[in-house]
Amino acid sequence: MAQTPTPPPQISVVVPVFDEEGAAPDLAREIAAAFEGRNYEMIFVDDRSRDATLAVMTAMKAEFPTLRVLSHRKNSGQSRSIRTGILAARGEVILTLDGDGQNDPADGPILVDALLAGPPELALVGGERVKRQDSQAKKIASRFGNGVRKRLLKDTANDTGCGLKAFRREAFLRLPYFDHIHRYIPALMLREGYEVDFRAVNHRHRQTGQSKYTNFGRLMASVSDLLGVMWLQTRARNPEGFDEF
């Protein structure tokens, strides 16, 4: 007797991880709890971790049938990990969150539902962290960077560094790809003619591992990235849709 094909998931939760053997398992359990009863899959993309992240997450597939684990053959960074997950995703809606556990998966369905309730032109609902649980130096640097980016790109986003974002897969795949794109998705969505919106989300202390970024490293990358996105904006010509006859 032929089996009935399983319908594809509506939502793909994509989580980039690098050396997060301590945080990733609990994060997977929280995602499963947050999306219980929903048609979803979760995709953890291991960016060639040096610890046991890949082994731990692969073992968890027995516990969570919705879990898929992808692994890069070479370390390629957070943006590439996110893109790898999105390319492999089967859902029409993507939810991304950081693999360190500081994003609260309970906020994920809120962003997804806001996206699904909006018009077709709404391609992104991003999270904006409130009561950030970071060092004072990190918060000051983030506030400064977000302010400069928002002023220059006019992307309406107060916090593009928040990993929690819900967006339409098709819309993301229309965007030009470059390293660190995850911080410029709102600006690039607007450039493509889509609408974006934002919701306040929770932020938590990191319980295990350590940050992979420094303030100086972020600054050096941000300067060239910002100039590049500004150039892309000057080269955009939007037909505002098309008609077929």
Quote the pLDDT of residue 76.
96
What string of H, E and C letters represents the secondary structure of the chain? CCCCCCCCCCEEEEEEECCCCCCHHHHHHHHHHHCCCCCEEEEEEECCCCCCHHHHHHHHHHCCCCEEEEECCCCCCHHHHHHHHHHHCCCCEEEECCCCCCECHHHHHHHHHHHHHCCCCEEEEEEEECCCCCCHHHHHHHHHHHHHHHHHHCCCCCCCCCCCEEEEHHHHCCCCCCCCHHHCHHHHHHHCCCEEEEEEECECCCCCCCCCCCHHHHHHHHHHHHHHHHHHHHCCCCCCCCCCC
Higher-confidence position of 122 and 223: 122
The answer to whether residue 142 scores a pLDDT higher than 80 is no
- Mean pLDDT (whole number) for 104-111: 97
Residue 239 is assigned to a structural domain of this protein = no
Residue 226 is assigned to a structural domain of this protein = yes
Containing domain of residue 150, as a range?
Answer: 11-234
Total number of domains in the chain:
1
Give the pTM: 0.87
Quote the pLDDT of residue 216.
54
Q: For the domain that residue 25 is a member of, what is the CATH number?
A: 3.90.550.10
pLDDT digits (tens, 9 = 90+) for 176-217: 999 999 989 999 999 999 999 999 999 988 777 566 555 555
Residue 168 is assigned to a structural domain of this protein = yes
Quote the pLDDT of residue 201.
96
Residue 242 is assigned to a structural domain of this protein = no
